[in-house]
Amino acid sequence: MITRIIVDILLLLSILYANFWISLIVIVAGLFYFKNYYEVIGAGIIIDILYGIPLAKYLQIPFITTIAFGALYFMIGKIKQYIR
């Protein structure tokens, strides 16, 4: 539980102050390491609220990170089932 809280704090700090790829690494690691790592959705929502705007490259969808992280949650969940 303590590990999870520490990773969550790290994730939050990386979203606020670090490059995006650092947050992505923390998220992928968290998804593999913890069971039901729902925090990933919260992280997506925070990123979209703080930085998101409708852009042509994302088909003008302003919450693309939440969608991407949701997809990542399911994908890594499935991968974990097969490699268990």
Partner 1 sequence: MNYRQDKRIISKKDVLTGLGIILVTYVIFGTSIGSAVQSGLERVVAPLRKATNEQTLSADIFGMFRSKITLTQENESLKKELFDLGLKLLDRNLLYEENLLLKEKVGRFNVNESIYARVIAKPTQSAYDTLIIDIGDENGLRGGERVMYGDNILIGSVAEVGTRTAKVKLFSSYGEETAVVIGPQKISAIAHGYGGGNFEIKIPRDTPVEKGDIILAPSLMPHILGTVEYLESKPNDPFKRVLFMGPVSPLLVNYVVVLLNM
Binding segment (CB under 8 A) for partner 1, from list 1-9, 25-33, 52-60? 52-60
Minimum CB–partner distance for residue 34 and partner 1 (Å): 15
CA atoms of 52 and 62, how far apart (whole Å): 6
Minimum CB–partner distance for residue 39 and partner 1 (Å): 12
CA atoms of 67 and 44, how far apart (whole Å): 8
Say which DSSP state 18 is in.
S
Q: Are 65 and 52 in contact (CB under 8 A)?
A: yes
Contact between 30 and partner 1 by CB under 8 A: the answer reads: no
Which residues contact partner 1 (rule: CB under 8 A)?
A: 15-20, 41, 45-58, 62-68, 70, 73-74, 77-78
